[in-house]
């Protein structure tokens, strides 16, 4: 099991294009995600990042191209518990919803447990362990709305992790999270990637902090402009992609630029 270099990619995107009316959102995207990789998918607002993620998850059907997850065509793929997803929307959930941290994390197991079945003691232990691994066990019985943005995001990561997925997809997970928590959050992701060997796909428009944590970077702006190691990315010329919108910021600087 330790040998994963020769295995097929977990996600295989071949020549995918998507249009809304006359507007091209994605054009001829080819992207493979290998097992064990920590891939940062970057691009300016409106570059199609979230759309690409939704396409991968089968929420949107592309006009052209093929997507394979774990060697299965998307329309035949059923093992959704192998994919953990933390959406952008997680930051804007209805905080008035009366659910405890425990209840929220347990949702991540529902699909694995299956219809007409109930959570057993083993599942409950798994929920506790996962909360422990993201450092949120002491908040188990707290209402989700009482937590800070950073803490909520950890809970949503725990929900995505609890079904023991092979890959975790995070769509702009640090929006609405304060700067100090962002650092901790990336450290958590690094730990998951290195210690638990979870493949990570992190989508963000915040290039600065991310590049020092991920192993590989893919740049998207309708088409894929760059796909390589994080080091090559930092040395490359970003301005062609970002224009004057984004300053390159190294991770030891605070940044305040949010639109």
Which residues contact other proteins (rule: CB under 8 A)?
A: 57-59, 78, 80-81, 83, 85, 87, 89-90, 93-94, 96-100, 102-104, 106-108, 110-111, 113, 115-116, 118-119, 141-143, 159, 163
Integer Cα distance of 86 and 94 in angstroms: 16
Q: 94: which DSSP letter?
A: -
Residue with Cβ nearer other proteins (81 or 172): 81
Complete DSSP assignment for 12-63? EEEEEEEEETTEEEEEEEEEEE-TT-EEEEE--TTSSHHHHHHHHTTSS--S
Q: Which is nearer to other proteins, 96 or 256 (CB)?
A: 96
Helix (H, G, I), strand (E, B) or coil at 140: coil
Query: Tokens for 137?
Result: 């066990």
Closest contact distance (angstroms) between CB of 94 and other proteins is: 8
Q: By C-beta, is 119 or 248 nearer to other proteins? A: 119
CB of 13 to other proteins, least distance (A): 17
Q: Write down the least CB distance from residue 259 to other proteins, Å.
A: 24
Nearer CB in complex with other proteins: 71/194: 71
As a whole number of angstroms, the distance between CA 56 and CA 155 comes to: 23
Query: Smallest gap, in angstroms, from Cβ of residue 163 to other proteins?
Result: 8
């Amino acid at each position: 099991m330790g040998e994963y270099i020769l295995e097929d990619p977990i996600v295989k995107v071949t020549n995918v294009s998507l249009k809304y009316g006359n507007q091209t959102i994605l054009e001829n995207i080819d992207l493979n995600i290998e097992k064990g990789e920590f891939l940062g998918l970057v691009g300016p607002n409106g570059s199609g990042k979230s759309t690409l993620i939704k396409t991968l998850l089968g929420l949107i059907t592309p006009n052209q191209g093929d997507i394979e997850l774990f060697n299965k065509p998307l329309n035949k793929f059923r093992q959704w518990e192998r994919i953990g997803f933390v959406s952008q929307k997680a930051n804007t959930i209805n905080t008035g919803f009366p659910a405890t941290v425990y209840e929220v994390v347990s949702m991540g197991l529902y699909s694995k447990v299956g219809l007409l079945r109930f959570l057993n003691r083993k599942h409950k232990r798994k929920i506790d362990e996962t909360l422990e691994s993201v450092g949120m066990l002491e908040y188990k019985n707290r209402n989700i709305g009482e937590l800070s943005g950073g803490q909520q995001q950890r809970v949503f990561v725990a929900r995505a992790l609890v079904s023991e997925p092979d890959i975790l997809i995070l769509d702009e997970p640090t929006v609405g999270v304060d700067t100090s928590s962002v650092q901790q959050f990336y450290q958590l992701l690094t730990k998951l990637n290195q210690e638990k060997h979870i493949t990570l796909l992190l989508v963000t428009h915040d290039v600065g902090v991310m590049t020092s944590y991920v192993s590989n970077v893919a740049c998207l702006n309708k088409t894929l402009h760059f796909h390589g190691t994080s080091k090559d990315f930092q040395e490359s010329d970003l301005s062609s992609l970002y224009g004057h919108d984004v300053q390159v910021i190294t991770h030891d600087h605070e940044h305040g630029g949010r639109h």
